[in-house]
Structure 1
Amino acid sequence: MPAARNSVGSPRLPRLLAGLCDRLPEDRIAVVEQVLHMVAGPDDPVLSRFIVAQSAAGLAQQLSEITRVWSAEVPDMSGAGLALALATARSFPRPRPAQVAVSGPMSASLPTRLTSGVAVEVIRSARSSLLIASFAAHGARNVVAEIGRAVGRGVRVDLLLEESTQASAAFVALPGQVHVWHRVGSSGVLHAKLIAADRHTALLGSANLTDRALSDNIELGVVLRDPQSVEPLVDHFRWLLAPENEVMRLA
């Protein structure tokens, strides 16, 4: 990266690029890199239009701040140069901080994403197993379709559902390889909401797998991308499914 001009202290641009990598999945970062390759510099109208078109809460502001600092610190750097810097930041493995997911009205106060999109993204990231728990389920066609695609690529899917809400009806169109589990006995209900992909990523939150909960209700969740946090969580739910523990049974 060229030396910063008129800057005081350490440059901010590398930290901002790293923050963008922390927030967005790799496919979204790749889109930003493609746009940067098309622009001449921080004042290019193509970049401005791309930023304005971003709908995720806080993302347009985050990209605008990167553009502002780019202009202040390294105004002679081309878009291709910044794309290379972003790709470099993306290539270094680093712990991924927890991210917020919300449903309902979205403010610019936090770098958040809509629960419906995050749920699909987590399911899409699974390569070997999916653990999904929900108290209620209805509609959620995008989620159901993504689960079906996961089954198609050989992912084992375990759905832990509350029997009293007839949640399993939302998944009747899925292939027969999907394993549906209900709680044994009647001392309490299955109220957890979880989507865990393999042992690396998990979405935890208040939202059930319903259209309203994923998009319209005021719901709050968090995405964990740290295997050290996700692995014990997956192990706990696998323990719940073990027949000898008599907690869950196959439907």
Structure 2
Amino acid sequence: MSHERFAALITDLTTMLPADHLDVWAGVLVNVDAPGDGAVVAELADARPGFSVGTHAERLIRGWRTEAPDLPGAAVALALRSAALLHRRTEARRTELAVSGPTTVAGPVRLTSSVVVEVIRAARSRLLVASFAAYGVAEVISELLSAAQRGVHVDLILESSTEAGGALRGAAGAAATFAALRHQATFWHWPAARRAASGNPRAALHAKLIAADDEVAVISSANLTDRALSHNIEVGVVLHDPEVVRRLVAHFRALTDPRTGVLQRLR
């Protein structure tokens, strides 16, 4: 007998079955004394029908019978519930890839343009948006307006033009793209004097990110431009880990703190 091998089997099943599926199976097994015969397999398969369910149920019962027959069903049920809980926590903190431009068959990725819209729509109270350049992005502007209209506080942290002391070439800074949000969002910039005070007057506000509340964020090489979101070869990550997103947002909140931050509200 090997409880370790049985634990490995449950772990393997966790990667193949949804967490709610494991919970249903735990509900079946909690009152089963021993692995028994095919009747238990059938009961598991009937409890949560689906593709290959019978095969997985058979593996579970066979493994229980050969590797851990001394365990009562309640113990197996507890193991399944624990695995389901861990699966949910892992899923909630997953990191996804987001790309722009050509896609490949190397692995599953999300399109940057779709992720940006999804993150904005996820916001319920606050949105933090930072970009170096910004141009076009009519859909993004529309989504930000919708967010503001449903009561979301929107902070836009954007690079200034070289004429205004920033690093963005051209007469207008990135804020000009979001003129439609002038009365619905709070705009922030990095004044030239504060860049100089930091020791490098030629430093740039180069971050590109969107964070919804403290729950989800996309960090990308893509600026908020039509070309970057759809056509350029860009890469980023989507963070679903609230602890990491919270630290990221806290960093920018500190940068905008009127007492100690280097960023300043754009009037």
TM-score (norm 2): 0.62
Structure 1 counterpart of 2:215, from 188, 193, 200: 200
Contact 1:99 1:112 in 2 (8 A): yes
Structure 1 residue 213 corresponds to structure 2 residue 213: no
List aligned pairs for 1:77-226, cutoff 5 A. 93-95=88-90, 96-164=93-161, 165=168, 166-174=173-181, 176-185=183-192, 186=195, 187=201, 188-226=203-241
Contact 2:98 2:111 in 1 (8 A): yes
Structure 1 residue 230 corresponds to structure 2 residue 231: no
Contact 1:98 1:225 in 2 (8 A): yes
Contact 1:11 1:73 in 2 (8 A): no
Name the CA distance, whole Å, in 2 between partners of 1:11 and 1:70: 16
Structure 1 residue aligned with 2:63 = none
Q: In the superposition, relative to structure 1, how do residues 11 and 94 fare at CA in structure 2: closer, same or farther (>3 Å)?
A: closer
Structure 2 residue aligned with 1:51 = none
Contact 1:102 1:218 in 2 (8 A): yes
- Residue 176 of structure 2: SS of its match in structure 1? helix
Name the CA distance, whole Å, in 1 between partners of 2:18 and 2:119: 21
How many aligned residue pairs are there? 185
Percentage of matched positions with identical amino acids? 50
Q: In the superposition, relative to structure 1, how do residues 71 and 216 fare at CA in structure 2: closer, same or farther (>3 Å)?
A: farther
Name the CA distance, whole Å, in 1 between partners of 2:18 and 2:140: 29
Please provide the CA RMSD for this pair. 2.8
CA drift of 1:14 comes to 5.1
Name the CA distance, whole Å, in 1 between partners of 2:17 and 2:174: 41
Name the CA distance, whole Å, in 1 between partners of 2:12 and 2:189: 51
List aligned pairs for 1:54-73, cutoff 5 A. none
1:94-117 Cα deviation digits (max 9, x unpaired): 232111000011112121010000
Amino acid at match of 1:244: R
Name the CA distance, whole Å, in 1 between partners of 2:12 and 2:259: 55
Amino acid at match of 1:171: F
Q: In the superposition, relative to structure 1, how do residues 16 and 170 fare at CA in structure 2: closer, same or farther (>3 Å)?
A: farther
Q: Which moved more, 1:178-187 or 1:203-212?
A: 178-187
TM-score (norm 1): 0.66
CA drift of 1:179 comes to 0.6
- Residue 142 of structure 1: SS of its match in structure 2? helix
Q: In the superposition, relative to structure 1, how do residues 94 and 250 fare at CA in structure 2: closer, same or farther (>3 Å)?
A: same
Name the CA distance, whole Å, in 2 between partners of 1:100 and 1:94: 19
Structure 1 unaligned runs (5+)? 1-8, 20-39, 43-68, 75-88
Name the CA distance, whole Å, in 2 between partners of 1:226 and 1:244: 29
Name the CA distance, whole Å, in 2 between partners of 1:114 and 1:173: 26
Larger Rg: 2
